Amino acid sequence: MDAVGLCRAVDERFAVTGAGTPPWPDPHADRDVHEEEYSRCLDPAKYRILATRAEAWTRALDELGLAISETVAEPAATTIWKRKPDPAVASAVRLRPVRTDALPLVFGFSAMDKIPGTLLTLGAGTPAVQLGTLPDCGCDACDDGSADLLDALDALVLAVVTGELVHIDAGQGREIIHTREGCYSSSDWPDAGPSEEEALAAARTDRSRHRVLRGPAWE
């Protein structure tokens, strides 16, 4: 199944899992951010939409026969994560691909303002490398609406499932995460030495001097 068909299958299940977590528009589409928005989140519960989208992905990948899902008994254990996740994970689901050489996917769930399931940490591999946590910031000033959040979640999951993920760990917090269609993020990548593009090219051809995480598509 291609990415379009897979997302369609997820959308069908999200109509059920997300019935109680409605989307919302960008509150700043036609106005500037107010100063007081930087220090508050008036409705943290709305971010539960991330957990219900993750549940839709879990159901779709299970029912399509691409993976087997399991609830992780010790969600914050270092046997699950390569490094202890930040924020701390209170519960987690791991999706093990039926294709044994593909990368497992982990959804980790945390609480914002003591509301469970409002922060979502995504990981890949065994043990899992932390790919990102959504939302990046939960304050009202940084809220761009739910569509951008769900797009970011889908992009990370698709990168793992389609085999397009490339994660490069150069140590000391320096990393590159490549997702799909040439999109990637990097943290503290040094100016000296290979550029980010050169580092990605080396990783794809097994010539990298750094730790690289990548795997084949799930089907």
**Could you report the per-residue pLDDT of 41-77, keeping only the tens digit for each?**
999 999 999 999 999 999 999 999 999 999 998 998 8
Residue 176 lies in a domain: no
The total of structural domains in the chain comes to: 1
Residue 66 lies in a domain: yes
Can you state the angle between helices 146-161 and 49-63, rounded to 10 degrees? 30
Residue 115 lies in a domain: yes
Residue 87 lies in a domain: yes
Residue 93 lies in a domain: yes
* Residue 173: predicted pLDDT: 85
Residue 177 lies in a domain: no
Residue 113 lies in a domain: yes
**Residue span of the structural domain in which 71 resides:** 3-23+41-145
Q: Work out the mean pLDDT of the chain and round it to a whole number.
A: 93
pLDDT tens digits along 178-217: 987 666 678 888 888 889 899 999 999 999 999 999 999 9
On the question of pLDDT at 6 being above 90, the answer is yes
Residue 35 lies in a domain: no
Write down the pTM of the prediction. 0.94
Characterize 74-90 residue by residue with b for buried, 16 or more Cβ atoms within 10 angstroms of its Cβ, and e for exposed. Answer: ebbeeebbbeebeeebe
Where residue 99 falls among pLDDT bands split at 50, 70, 90? Answer: very high
pLDDT tens digits along 142-171: 999 999 999 999 999 999 999 999 999 998
Q: What percent of the chain lies above the pLDDT cut of 90?
A: 81
d(CA 160, CA 202) in angstroms, rounded, equals 19
CA distance readout (Å), 193 to 62, 89, 197, 208, 209:
42, 35, 11, 12, 12
